[in-house]
Amino acid sequence: MPIDVVCWMHVDITAEHTSEYMDQKYYFCSSKCKKEFDDAPDRYLGVKSPMKMPE
3-state secondary structure 2-55: CECCCCCCECCCCCCEEEEECCEEEEECCHHHHHHHHHCHHHHHCCCCCCCCCC
Rounded CA gap, 54 and 17, in Å? 42
pLDDT greater than 80 at residue 54: no
Minimal CA–CA distance to 34: which of 55, 54, 9, 53? 9
pLDDT greater than 70 at residue 8: yes
Report the pLDDT value the prediction gives residue 24, as an integer from 0 to 100. Answer: 94
Report the pLDDT value the prediction gives residue 46, as an integer from 0 to 100. Answer: 78
- Rounded to two decimals, the pTM is 0.78
Give first-to-last CA distance, the chain, whole Å. 46
Q: Model confidence over 19-46: pLDDT tens digits?
A: 999 999 999 999 999 999 999 999 999 7
